[in-house]
Structure 1
Amino acid sequence: MLLFGRKRLLAVLGSCTVLLFLTPTQCASSSPDSLNQSYKTVQPLELTPKLSLQLKLHAFLLWSSVGFLMPLGVLLIRITSNVKSTNSIKILFYSHVASQIVAVILATAGAVLSISNFENAFNNTHQRIGLVLYGFIWLQPLIGFLRPDRGVKFRSVWYLAHWLLGIGICVVGVANVYIGIHTYHERTGRSVRPWTVLLTVEVSAMAFVYLFQDRWNHVVRQQQEAAALGDDDEQSEEHAYPANDHKEVVP
């Protein structure tokens, strides 16, 4: 349990560090050129029907990739720790692999769409995080396919790296989806509240399932121990007060 606590702490710290370094600060250069560039980034975006469709498609591809399929893959592989059937474990494992492969394909399609159709000056938080995120998204499946066999000494190091990178991609990816929604609202002035609420509900549900999986074994173990303790108490009472099987003799 302590090991999982440290892993979560490292994942959160790593994600926060990425966001900290990628987020532009107030003390950045304030030269006229930079101010003019910043002014341009907040100018209202003139949405043509084609651009509107491309933005919606980009948002859908990235949400379905880092906002849904990748967290779903994490949940699928995590459920295997509570499953005893070998066939069920195989199904969950291959479902995990399939969901991550599809997620990488969708993220790649979103990257191609962004590079070929949008302005990519990388002068805002959303684009900077997205660029770094794409690199890690393509690195993660490579690490996954290089999985060492069980029993190999390097296996624990590989597991920790694969787990931390996967959690980091999910956390930073979801954060960048929020940032992208906010950026869309700033550039277009259109309401994004329904999408923000839906994304929050989905992320909250997945986070609950993820944390619940960690405690499920503990809950089951406590119930088994309580049941075993109850059986021991009943057996102790039977030994202390044995039933009288002999018939009473009437004089």
Structure 2
Amino acid sequence: MKFLQKLGFFCIRSSLLLFLVSPLVNSSQEHMKGGGSHKDNIHKQMSHKLSFEIRLHGFLLWASMGFLMPVGILAIRMSQREECGRRLRILFYMLSILLATAAAVMSFRNFNNSFNNKHQRVGLGLYGLIWLQALIGFIRPQRGSKGRSVWFSAHWILGTAVSLLGILNIYTGLQAYHERTSKGIKLWTIIFTAQVSFMTFFYLFQDKWWYIQKQGVLLGHEPVRPTADKVLLPIEKQKRAVTDSC
């Protein structure tokens, strides 16, 4: 859990640094190109404002779907069904909902939402699934009740759909950002792909970590049991002795 916290702080700091430095680099490059008329300056100011809003929208979406949601899943898997793990999952999920809501509000207020691209359509469906899963989470039945298995199946399916659509929406958002601003997204795509790959590997690894530890304990402390060959060998000798005596 300490390693996961350090990883989270590192990802947040790195993302904030990239998020803050990138607009400064772009603005310095545009400043070197020279000025223009007063109308051009107003257009540049509006472009800077729109670019900042798009970046902030993307950062909120990444923090919600690309970071908090996967970290919440890892937290509850690593807690081995303890109460603190469930509370951490709820905390991460509520923060994810708040950030996704803020990103959706920014989109409706500041962007042209004609829903003519994949990012907007996937985002609308994703936003609905997020709140649907939250509502289903509030009506969780008690363990052992009849509706528990149905609730668990629905909750798991919605959670899987939200995670996959969230990752897909980040990729489509990067593509929409490239089409809107004509700026390169290769670096951001590589960074996000590396993050998703690492979290997927960590998820699969920690799922088997308890089993690996258990195997090490068994090999280190349990006495060596005789194999089938060692057990059958004296019996074979007895059979041979009986046949020889006959």
TM over 0.5: yes
* Residue equivalent to 1:71: 70
| Range that drifts further, 61-70 or 205-214 | 205-214
* Residue equivalent to 2:199: 206
* Residue equivalent to 2:183: 190
Q: CA deviation at 1:154?
A: 1.4
Q: Name the CA distance, whole Å, in 1 between partners of 2:142 and 2:50.
A: 48
Amino acid across the alignment from 1:216: W
* Residue equivalent to 1:62: 61
1:106 paired with 2:99, answer: yes
Task: Check conservation: 1:74, 1:96, Cα contact below 8 A.
Answer: yes
1:148 paired with 2:147, answer: no
- Aligned equivalent of 2:114, options 114, 118, 121: 121
Unaligned residue ranges in structure 2 (runs of 5+):
1-43, 231-246
Q: CA deviation at 1:212?
A: 1.2
| Larger proportion of helix | 2
1:220 paired with 2:213, answer: yes
1:48 paired with 2:47, answer: yes
1:141-169 per-position Cα deviation (integer Å, ceiling 9, x unaligned): 11111111111121122112112211211
* Residue equivalent to 1:7: none
Q: Name the CA distance, whole Å, in 2 between partners of 1:62 and 1:166.
A: 16
State the TM-score, normalized to the length of structure 1: 0.68
Task: Check conservation: 1:74, 1:166, Cα contact below 8 A.
Answer: no
State the TM-score, normalized to the length of structure 2: 0.69
Q: Percent identity?
A: 46
Q: Name the CA distance, whole Å, in 1 between partners of 2:154 and 2:102.
A: 26
**Alpha-carbon RMSD:** 2.3
Q: Secondary structure at the match of 1:48?
A: helix
Amino acid across the alignment from 1:167: T
Unaligned residue ranges in structure 1 (runs of 5+):
1-45, 84-88, 238-251
Q: Secondary structure at the match of 1:130?
A: helix
Aligned length: 185
Q: CA deviation at 1:186?
A: 2.1
Q: Name the CA distance, whole Å, in 1 between partners of 2:220 and 2:151.
A: 39
Task: Check conservation: 1:64, 1:103, Cα contact below 8 A.
Answer: yes
* Residue equivalent to 1:162: 155
Q: CA deviation at 1:101?
A: 0.2
| Range that drifts further, 114-123 or 157-166 | 157-166
1:66-90 per-position Cα deviation (integer Å, ceiling 9, x unaligned): 1111111111111122x7xxxxx22
